[in-house]
């Protein structure tokens, strides 16, 4: 058991190779019939972009498979994918009957870890896929976050942040999976403890294209009791805009010593009006404006 843990504790390099050199426990490159290969049911990646697969298939038809797959033997003449399911799918689309592959020795735990690490290193997984795989490893093998951190070479805080994403409403998780919002938006939403508010703001992120900073402001407003379940993000956004206008209005009124008014529509278009009481006051304002010319 100790020997097994030490092998896993050496970091990413000992678990999987990202170049054409066989990793420890691998054979030389073999040519394996596609019909003898099955996908990994524990594959962390759950979505495969069809257009991207078509492009990869076209490249394979032209150049072949440059990076061999990593497989493990599951029977006398059968294999399971450790890493390279996307290449496997594209090879089938390209009409290939066999693919180059390394044959590696791996148990079920190592199989999941290797698949996870290979995808992370290639940045192929979305945040939810990573979070779900972390959870699976923790639950299935009774690991602590600290132990998982040691085994896959990721900081414990990074693992914890990904796992927290699974607390978000399902619709928000799907949006994160489909990259309709990013991790910055998700972290801001996680600071809100009300799922209905999280979902409401998420819909405004999609509808209005809210920035991460704006979502952070909305989250802060909720924490301070300024955003309740009946308040939409759009309404609160207008409140923040109004507040910003009030500050600017006050600044300009003080600078020009005259009342200043703002008008703004939903698209952000508007006007600024400077008031004057008589011709002398107008002349004073014109003089002030002239001093602002470059």
Structure confidence by residue, pLDDT tens digits, 194-224:
999 999 999 999 988 889 999 999 998 888 8
pLDDT confidence bin for 143, thresholds 50/70/90: confident
Catalytic sites, residue numbers: 85
Mean pLDDT on 48-60 = 87
Q: Helices then strands (H, E): number in the chain?
A: 14, 7
Mean pLDDT in residue range 43-50: 75
| pLDDT score of 85 | 87
Q: What is the pTM of this model?
A: 0.54
* Range 225-235 average pLDDT: 56
Per-residue model confidence (pLDDT) at position 25:
47
Mean pLDDT lowest for which of 182-186, 187-191, 219-223?
219-223
pLDDT at position 7 is: 35
Q: What is the pLDDT of residue 35?
A: 95
Does residue 259 contact residue 273 with C-beta atoms inside 8 Å? no
pLDDT score for 122: 58
Q: Residue 69 CB: number of other CB atoms within 10 A?
A: 24
Please check whether residue 74 is in contact with residue 168, taking contact to mean a CB–CB distance below 8 angstroms: no
């Amino acid at each position: 058991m100790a020997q097994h843990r030490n092998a896993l504790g050496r970091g990413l390099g000992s678990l999987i190779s990202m170049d054409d050199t066989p990793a420890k426990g691998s054979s030389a490159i073999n040519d394996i019939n596609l019909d003898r290969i099955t996908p990994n049911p524990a594959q962390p990646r759950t979505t495969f972009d069809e257009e991207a697969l078509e492009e990869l298939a076209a490249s394979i038809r032209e150049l072949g498979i440059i990076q061999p797959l990593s497989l493990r033997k599951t029977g006398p003449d059968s294999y399971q994918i450790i890493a390279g399911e996307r290449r496997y799918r594209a090879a089938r689309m390209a009409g290939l009957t066999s693919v180059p592959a390394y044959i590696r020795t791996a148990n079920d735990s190592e199989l999941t870890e290797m698949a996870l690490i290979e995808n992370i290193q290639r940045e192929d997984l979305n945040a939810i896929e990573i979070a779900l795989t972390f959870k699976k490893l923790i639950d299935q093998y009774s690991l602590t976050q600290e132990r998982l951190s040691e085994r896959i070479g990721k900081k414990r805080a990074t693992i914890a942040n990904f796992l927290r994403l699974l607390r978000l409403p399902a619709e928000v998780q799907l949006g994160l999976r489909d990259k309709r919002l990013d991790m910055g938006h998700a972290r801001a939403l996680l600071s809100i403890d009300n799922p209905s508010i999280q979902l409401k703001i998420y819909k405004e992120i999609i509808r209005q294209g809210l920035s991460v900073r704006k979502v952070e402001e909305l989250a802060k407003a909720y924490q301070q009791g300024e955003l309740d379940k009946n308040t939409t993000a759009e309404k609160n956004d207008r409140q923040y805009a109004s507040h910003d206008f009030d500050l600017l209005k006050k600044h300009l009124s003080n600078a020009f010593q005259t009342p200043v008014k703002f008008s703004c529509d939903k698209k952000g278009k508007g006007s600024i009006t400077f008031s004057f009481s008589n011709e002398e006051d107008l002349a004073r304002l014109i003089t002030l404006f002239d001093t602002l010319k470059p």
